[in-house]
Amino acid sequence: MRAQPQRSRILIVDDAPANIKALAGILAEQYEILAATSGPEALKTALAEQVDLVLLDVNMPGQDGYETCQKLKSNGQTQRIPVIFVTAMDEVTHETRGFELGAMDYVAKPIIPAILKARVANAVQLKQQQDKLELLSMTDGLTGIANRRRYEEFLEQHWLLAVRAATPLSLALMDIDYFKLYNDTYGHGAGDECLRLVAERLDAARGRATDLVARYGGEEFVCVLPNTDGHGALLLAERVRNEIRALAIPHSASQTDDCVTVSIGVATTLPRPGVDREAFIKAVDQNLYAAKAGGRNRVEA
């Protein structure tokens, strides 16, 4: 999940730099402006940068605005960015084509600044609401870290990436030891607070920015480690286990220690066509079970 920059960012796409300048002049006070003078350049920018709205010229040599819109809308990474076409009056008959391609709106040349600002403000506001909802739908309400849905989506994405790049993928599944007894001893509210503290520490303990930590279920958390081999995953899991113990959250009823501890199952695979993802997940689960059976507060790989 990317952090929202302060101001919304608008990508202006037009083959004529004078047009870009004119539009930017109207919008630069309120928005951060990015510019591209061709369709391919626009796609590159939309993939590389956080873009909240695209203002797209229709008539451009080579790849025109329609084709560019189609490409933006068919790429999972850019398809949710709203597109507003900027067209000369004599192109009005083509408006429906733009809508069919997923454009959100049109503004007609010659540009009337107040109209442009109003349409842009509408589109940007809608995009902000959508972003907020999307973030909410991927976030665990209690701990604020990624939720199970985000984990599923992330694993799917990174499984496919790993197949393409022929890189290993590791999973660490962790479960708080004797957590039912923790609730029984300190109360459910304290249990919730404990989950928050553990989640916060897990998220901070991530080895790389590309790792994902999510709440898997009740008192279970999962760490997805792209491009990480078994050795790396084991190192991370041991570090996480130590860091949770180092939080020193008192747990007088625990039968392994006097503080909150976690058991962790780790597994690594080289995703390829024909490798069963469910079997991989089952292996992690079995290793977690082995860590529990082996005495808890331990890592099993």
> Is 49 considered catalytic here?
no
257 binds ligand GH3 (CB under 6 A): no
Q: Exactly one of 151, 179, 216, 280 binds ligand GH3 (CB under 6 A); which one? A: 179
User: DSSP string spanning 142-173?
Assistant: TT-SB-HHHHHHHHHHHHHHHHHHT--EEEEE
Using Cβ positions, the residue closest to ligand GH3 within the complex turns out to be 191
3-state SS assignment for residue 180: helix
Which of positions 281-300 make contact with ligand GH3 (CB under 6 A)? Answer: 292, 296
Site map 113..152 versus ligand GH3, x via CB under 6 A: -----------------------------x----------
Which of positions 208-247 make contact with ligand GH3 (CB under 6 A)? Answer: 218-219
- What's the rounded Cα separation, in Å, for the pair 227 and 222? 16
175 binds Mg ion (CB under 5 A): yes
Q: Is omega for the bond preceding 110 within 30 degrees of 0, making it cis?
A: yes
> Cβ distance 240 to 198 under 8 Å?
no
Smallest distance from the beta carbon of 231 to Mg ion, in angstroms?
Answer: 27
Phi/psi for 145 (5° steps) reads -90, 180
Site map 28..47 versus ligand GH3, x via CB under 6 A: --------------------
> Cβ distance 280 to 269 under 8 Å?
yes
Question: On the CB side of 194, how many CA atoms lie within 13 Å of its CA?
Answer: 29
> Cβ distance 138 to 1 under 8 Å?
yes
Q: Which is nearer to ligand GH3, 261 or 268 (CB)?
A: 261
91 binds Mg ion (CB under 5 A): no
> Cβ distance 20 to 40 under 8 Å?
no
Q: Which is nearer to ligand GH3, 17 or 218 (CB)?
A: 218
183 binds ligand GH3 (CB under 6 A): yes
- What's the rounded Cα separation, in Å, for the pair 181 and 229? 35
Pick one of ligand GH3, Mg ion, none as the site partner of residue 200 (Cβ within 5 to 8 A by kind): none
Active site residues: 219
**Binding-site ranges for ligand GH3 (CB under 6 A):** 142, 175-181, 183, 188, 191-192, 195, 218-219, 292, 296
